[in-house]
Amino acid sequence: MYRTGDVVRYLANGNLEFLGRVDEQVKLRGHRIELGEIETVLRQHSAIREAVVAIKEITPGNNSLIAYLVPHTKPHSEMNEMNIAHHGSFQTSVIFKEVFEDEVYWKHGITLDQGAVVFDVGANIGLFTLFANRKCPTAQIYAFEPLPPSFEKLRANVARYEIDAHLLNYGLSESAATADFVFYPEAAGLSGHAANRAGDKEDTKAIVQDWIHNAAHSREEDLLPQSQLDELLDEYLRAETYSCEVKTLSEVIRENNIEQIDLLKIDTEGSELSVLSGIEEEDWSRIKQIVMEVHSRSIMQSIVTLLEARGFEFVIDDSMVVAGNGNNNGNDVYVAMLYAFSPDHSGRRRSMDRMETTAPPLIVSEVQSFLRRSLPLHFVPSVFIVLDALPLTPNGKIDRKALPLPSPQQVRSEVEFVAPQTSTEKELAAIWAEILGSDHIGIHDNFFNSGGHSLSATQLVTHIRKNFFVELSLRDFLKYPTIAGLAELIEESILSKASDAKINALLEMLESQSPKEV
């Protein structure tokens, strides 16, 4: 009577046995899905060379839609596959993306040979040290981190991945001394010798306001009031001060008998010129490559002058420039990456730079967003697996049976998905969906692991305050970044207010009564 596209056969008892489809259509949770259509869209992504989509039974009775991707560039490990000691999931995810996914320290011909000596100045919790070891397992890494809280995380991460690195619990500057360092527990990446809380707050405020007005396209009624933004930033930039030892780079060279530094990486939040000023003239010839984050135009100009005088070639990438306003004293927020090469290394750098691929890195969260813009939600795979190559049969076709099952970490969110149940959880899920652009949100999903960041967190906090009439702080949100945690916190606050109101009403009633009536 009609064609279903199903392939079946009769059994001896007269029943039909389902064998498959004549096309690539499958059925999952009541939805018919065209695998070929998903694969076609995936291959249109600029970072993807090959793509296959399949349904796999990852646990008994639990089928999931899985995408297998082969990128143009070598795949990177996702942060949730690495066990990293850190101060907070959001700030770590930002740094992880810069280091491992965007490879901001590995551009314009930066390279390492076997046994290369790497100085990681401003190591923080050690993500660049882990990255350098992955790029060059035989590298001799010297990691400098003066702040005790970050140094302990650095030590833990290096030990966890069994990296034979030299960990140095002091900073580098233009002279040996003891200096005060500012540490932000909620924003460790901004910590440093040159950290200035007032300046850091104004810079961060300018970035947030720029994002709210431009990137977020917020409606006027959704904009964060200045008083609330100040409160959030005050909590975010809660500061501690530590007295730390600093040495000069030349002093370290002499103490450790360093003949050559193949890569000097510097990320010291405004102290980068001080680090370079601690290099004595006779030691400049030992340094072959430099990559650093620079935090102002004036510092950049001084560094450029210093490098030009010593024959270095360099490339400058403006990472972020946000126009200043009245709240930022009219100054721009300027952050740039500088890549410098010694005179005897420049020719090699140019040849390496020409070899660099122009394909962007494959970032799973971006691929998910790319699919959501083109396909229905039930067409978007729940698990993405990045492979070096797709498995093939002897005749060269894709061997779908050999496609690997995902690891427990890769399917964790799928297996442990718990839908919102209470009215509070459902209202929170609706707010999250609006901000994150996803309808598939479980009550145990971490906001930052689901694509959120500190800027979108300000929107979320504002919505929660307005919808629930509770005084939620940024510190509360960082502590409870899931719907389940926030719902419990909100309900406790509402119950507490209700109890206070009842007690006050009772007291007022008692005061209005005569002692006899009481």
**Is residue 63 within 8 Å of residue 382, measured between CB atoms?**
no
pLDDT at 216: 46
pLDDT at 219: 52
CA distance 228 to 284: 49
If one compares 182 and 358, the residue with the highest pLDDT of the two is: 182
pLDDT at 7: 80
pLDDT in tens, 126-137: 999 999 999 999
Nearest Cα neighbor of 124 from 104, 101, 107, 99 is 99
pLDDT in tens, 148-167: 999 999 999 999 889 999 99
CA distance 234 to 453: 17
* Helices and strands, counts by H and E, the chain: 16, 17
Of the candidate ranges 86-90, 164-168, 197-201, 412-416, the one whose mean pLDDT is the lowest: 412-416
Q: pTM of the entire structure?
A: 0.59
In the predicted model, what is the mean pLDDT of the chain? 80
pLDDT at 131: 94
- 63: helix, strand or coil: strand
Structural domains of the chain ordered from first start: 18-73+360-414 (3.30.300.30), 85-193+241-355 (3.40.50.150), 423-512 (1.10.1200.10)
| DSSP codes of every residue in 107-133 | -TT----TT-EEEEES-TTSHHHHHHH
**Is residue 278 within 8 Å of residue 250, measured between CB atoms?**
yes
If one compares 75 and 341, the residue with the highest pLDDT of the two is: 341
If one compares 383 and 316, the residue with the highest pLDDT of the two is: 316
pLDDT at 508: 65
pLDDT of 75 strictly over 50: no
Nearest Cα neighbor of 322 from 202, 206, 455, 198 is 206
- Give me the helix-helix angle, 483-512 and 454-468, nearest 10°: 30
For the record, the structure tokens of 404 come out as 């690997």
Strand 313-322 relative to strand 333-341, pairing: antiparallel
309 — pLDDT class (breaks 50, 70, 90)? very high
pLDDT at 359: 54
For the record, the structure tokens of 259 come out as 């003949």
pLDDT of 247 strictly over 90: yes
| Mean pLDDT confidence for 214-240 | 67
pLDDT at 63: 73
Of the candidate ranges 122-131, 278-287, 504-513, the one whose mean pLDDT is the lowest: 504-513
pLDDT at 414: 45
60 — pLDDT class (breaks 50, 70, 90)? low
Tell which phi-psi region holds residue 388, choosing left (phi > 0), alpha (psi between -120 and 50) or beta: alpha
pLDDT of 77 strictly over 70: no
CA distance 382 to 368: 9
pLDDT at 512: 65
If one compares 253 and 54, the residue with the highest pLDDT of the two is: 253
pLDDT of 212 strictly over 90: no
Burial class from Cβ neighbours inside 10 Å (0-12, 13-18, 19+) for residue 30 reads exposed
pLDDT of 443 strictly over 60: yes
**Is residue 381 within 8 Å of residue 67, measured between CB atoms?**
yes
198 — pLDDT class (breaks 50, 70, 90)? confident
For the record, the structure tokens of 424 come out as 């509070």
CA distance 11 to 280: 86
pLDDT at 136: 93
CA distance 288 to 277: 17
Residue 141 DSSP one-character state? E
Percent of the chain with pLDDT over 90: 32
pLDDT of 122 strictly over 80: yes
For the record, the structure tokens of 338 come out as 């500088």
Rg of the chain in Å (alpha carbons): 28
**Is residue 100 within 8 Å of residue 77, measured between CB atoms?**
yes
**Is residue 221 within 8 Å of residue 458, measured between CB atoms?**
no
**H or E, element range at 17:** strand 16-21
| Mean pLDDT confidence for 239-245 | 93
Which range has highest mean pLDDT (306-310, 351-355, 474-478)? Answer: 306-310
Amino acid at 138: T
66 forms bridges with which residues in the sheet? 54, 383
pLDDT at 481: 81
pLDDT of 287 strictly over 90: yes
Residue 389 DSSP one-character state? S
| Mean pLDDT confidence for 99-119 | 91
Tell which phi-psi region holds residue 300, choosing left (phi > 0), alpha (psi between -120 and 50) or beta: alpha
Percent of the chain with pLDDT over 70: 74
Amino acid at 148: P
pLDDT in tens, 393-430: 888 788 888 898 876 555 544 445 678 889 899 999 99
Length of the chain: 518
Sign, Cα dihedral of 132, 133, 139, 145:
positive
pLDDT of 78 strictly over 60: no
CA distance 258 to 237: 38
Cβ atoms < 10 Å from Cβ of 25: 15
